[in-house]
Structure 1
């Protein structure tokens, strides 16, 4: 009996609430307006490698234009730290994939550690026999902020030969998954 009464009351409320004679406060309804989009302002980056070379690129609405790699190589930006176990686990996979696709693919590792002595970074590179560029310095943190305010590492960002953003990877990524997207980046 109570269930029937509750059911009838619910139906009555439903039909009275949907009444087209109901009034509403129009001030609570968002007005449609045209918002003029601001033109995209590109950012220029100049990352310094441990051997004092400069890797220059610019942000675009689609991704990054790498001065030295555009039209030649897909690029994986690897934001890492020397104390990070998943970052260290990625190194053999990176080396293998870089060697396999050496004509079409490059890795740029961006150190995400403040005030790390160069000697310690060089020891790390030698210990793990890292053959790809590793960047250091304050510009790394500007890039990390612009890439979505990176807070956790490793984070990796893959770009096609033409600089188009392809995929973001967070944490450990399987070799198979990386290779699948590297092939896409090379073909685009």
Structure 2
């Protein structure tokens, strides 16, 4: 995590995941409101053969936050963060604990705003 005093939103996605792509406008909106208080990271679970498509997607969509590729150990990343499916998002607290986080749920978004004083 970039700053251990801040929460981090980790978004698990892939180039071929259309539901993931549909969430992007909501993610960008929340990011714009909280970018000075919360770190955002997308972790792509694309396999090696689709890395280029992921890179093109990131460029086309102009993702304003960091994007990482997990192709070298997709199973390990999914296991470590309990990612049963994608799209999947988790909220990582400054102490390293984390929990699933649903960007489509208003109460979840409000919780994030409350954590950051917004």
TM range (shorter): 0.7 to 0.9
Equivalent pair of 1:160/1:186 in contact (CA under 8 Å): no
5+ residue gaps, structure 2: none
Where does 1:117-136 land on structure 2 (aligned, <5 Å)?
A: 117-136=50-69
Equivalent pair of 1:109/1:134 in contact (CA under 8 Å): yes
Give the Cα–Cα distance (whole angstroms) in 1 for the partners of residues 96 and 41 of structure 2: 14
Matched, 1:174 2:104: yes
CA deviation vs aligned residue, 1:124-166 (integer Å, no higher than 9, x gap): 0122221111111324542211222x3411111102234332x
Give the Cα–Cα distance (whole angstroms) in 2 for the partners of residues 116 and 109 of structure 1: 19
Structure with higher helix content = 2
Q: C-alpha root-mean-square deviation of aligned residues, in Å?
A: 2.2
Structure with more contact order per residue of length (Cα contacts < 8 Å, sep ≥ 6) = 2
Matched, 1:183 2:118: no
Give the Cα–Cα distance (whole angstroms) in 2 for the partners of residues 163 and 185 of structure 1: 15
Give the Cα–Cα distance (whole angstroms) in 1 for the partners of residues 11 and 51 of structure 2: 18
Matched, 1:147 2:81: yes
Q: Which has the larger radius of gyration?
A: 1
Q: How many residues align?
A: 116
